[in-house]
Amino acid sequence: MDIIELKAKAAEIRMALLKMIHNAKTGHTGGSLSNTDILTALYYRVMKIDPTRPKWEDRDRFIASKGHSVESLWCILANLGFFPEEELKTFSQYGTRLIGHPNNKVPGIEMNTGALGHGLAISVGMALAGKRDGKGYRVYCLMGDGEQAEGSVWEAAMAGAHYKLENLVAIIDRNRLQISGSTEEVMGLEPLEEKWAAFGWNVVSIDGNDMDALVRTFESVPTVSGKPTLFMANTVKGKGVSFAENVAHWHHHVPNDEQLELALAELSAALERYKQEGQVQ
């Protein structure tokens, strides 16, 4: 997909996840909206994947360490054909595979995740295995910024640098809000980029809601030979829905009927703009 098509797809995914959360009456809305552009860039442009062969040996691996924001991922996997889109209607219902965190009973999911702080360690192991086996795949790990308070993140960061895993890409969804408020009030993280650099990673700061910037930076990996890469993706929690943006309450708030209608109208307008822009080009 080109950049305009990716922007349009991200708008469609946001609409789908909002409908899914509204139907289920549960979900993590704000973080899923903030990470949608990141996942769209990865799944529709950057990563080597094949929905018809979810266990393809040479596939790129994606680990959603911030597993509670799984809604965007479910919608993308369904849209790509890893499982039927109709199954999205079962999200968080009794007996479903589509629970509130990644579940490896679903094609396209590498590991069950959601206990924060575990995803990067899993990703280090996968990347190290790929390096030792001479494989060309990359491992992408999406973390939340509140998750950076977990000590296991930093143990994994040391290991990734020690083993020179240039096939490992960590991404922090830096929306600066977590369930109980500002990350800096709950557990101060700054200077976060300097901390990661001190642990031996090459750190690149990007606008995590700018599709062009995401594609350019993801396609530059490895950014430095012999080092893992950390993308500090500065995002807006609730991105795409004006009344949810930068509001901590929307971490796990479920839109009511009126809010859903307003949000879908905003996103539909954005989608139409992207389609018109694409036609002009």
64-77 tens-digit pLDDT: 999 999 999 999 99
pLDDT for residue 280 is more than 90: no
Do 78 and 43 touch, CB atoms closer than 8 A? Answer: no
Per-residue pLDDT, 114: 84
Which of 233, 241, 163 shows the shortest CA–CA distance to 203? 233
How high is the mean pLDDT of the chain?
96
CB count, 10 Å around CB of 174?
A: 24
d(CA 176, CA 171): 14
Do 233 and 172 touch, CB atoms closer than 8 A? Answer: yes
Q: Is 116 helix (H, G, I), strand (E, B) or coil?
A: coil
pLDDT for residue 281 is more than 90: no
Phi, psi values for residue 234, rounded to 5°? -75, 115
Domain 3-280 homologous superfamily, CATH? Thiamin diphosphate (ThDP)-binding fold, Pyr/PP domains (3.40.50.970)
DSSP for 32-91 reads: HHHHHHHHHHIIIIIS---TT-TT-TT--EEEESSGGG-HHHHHHHHHHTSS-GGGGGGT
- Asked, as a colleague might, if the bond just before 222 is cis with ω within 30 of 0, I would say yes
Q: Token pair of 260, please?
A: 């859903």
d(CA 69, CA 177): 13
Residues 144-193 pLDDT 10s: 999 999 999 999 999 999 999 999 999 999 999 988 888 999 999 999 99
pTM of the model: 0.96
Per-residue pLDDT, 25: 98
Q: Which residues pair with 202 in a beta bridge?
A: 229
